[in-house]
Structure 1
Amino acid sequence: MNILVMNGSPREKSMTRNLTNSITDQLDEKGIQVMTFDAGFHDLPLFKGRKEDLEHPEVQRLMNNAMNADAFVICSPEYHNGMSGALKNALDFLGGSHFKQKPAALASVGGGGKGGINALNNMRTVMRGLYALVLPDQFCADPTCFDEKGYMIDTKAKERLSIVIEELVTLTAALEKGIKVK
């Protein structure tokens, strides 16, 4: 099983990267092959719909990983009540052929309180447009879930994240066994 974990934060010191690191650790513990896209490290050109941009090495890497993924975990900070522009730009380079009949879990990091839910709703709309099988369950973290080194320290958040990851793995395994959604 191959899962592509996407960090939509372009920031150098990113809470969303901390989240994707926690997700990657959980998937590694399950023996799952993890591929990553990190908007802070994998610089993509601005999507303009031009064929020549599809030849960019990072765009090629993203498209190949997405095509080879059996499932996705898409993560974003919440910027102005939506997902990051960097994540939306990355998703614009992909299409339905990358996501159709593949599960996707959504996760966000908000600024505190109830932050992050609008980013999740925004991601859900876009992923539906890409034909992904978006899990009904989702995960939202606050910065207080992490310590100063970026490790997830909040026990309830870890448990909640584990539930979402387990749901993704279970659905992906069922689909791999031949239960296809038409």
Structure 2
Amino acid sequence: MIRHGKITLRAREERDVDVLHRELYEDVENRARSDHRPWRPLRAGPDSPYAVQQGDETPVFSIEESASGDLAGVAALWGVDTHSRSGHLGIGLRPSFRGRGLGTDTVRALCVYGFTVRGLHRLQVDTLADNAAMIAAARHCGFVVEGTLRKALWVYGRHLDEVVLGLLAEEWAGVQDAEGSGV
């Protein structure tokens, strides 16, 4: 487990799947904003994108709110390139957990995992340009906006801009030193 601030990143458990599927996957419009693949009807359980997959190379975590122990959402380090030592991170919070600052703590915890545990050199966030919460969380953790891909994503009936943010390991170390928390 990785703890940071108000959250804990932990392994996905079977009991998480139905909740995540119902609140994050079955909300078609919200799911379309978080996944470039077209939504399709899937059952919860083994068919769910939130199902526990043993042996999967993509580290997928459940986010737990530390104070309550409640399941707050999902976090992933995906698209890891072991040659270039880079990866992408993403989070999805359950609707009732949004707006509590958990996103920033989750991004920080994923940076600890990516840079400290995995030894990556670069992390990237790809998000919709109107996702102010994710952009703010990433920037607060030291990510820099590197560009905007104009109308790059088809999202629920229209093309939207995608913002790319990046953070290098040495920049992350500087952010940690400035906060006095070390890496």
Tell me whether the two structures share a fold, i.e. TM-score over 0.5.
no
Normalised to the residue count of structure 1, the TM-score between the two structures is: 0.37
Whose RCO is larger (CA < 8 A, sep 6+)? 1
Normalised to the residue count of structure 2, the TM-score between the two structures is: 0.36
User: Hey, which of these two has a bigger chunk of helix by percent?
Assistant: 1
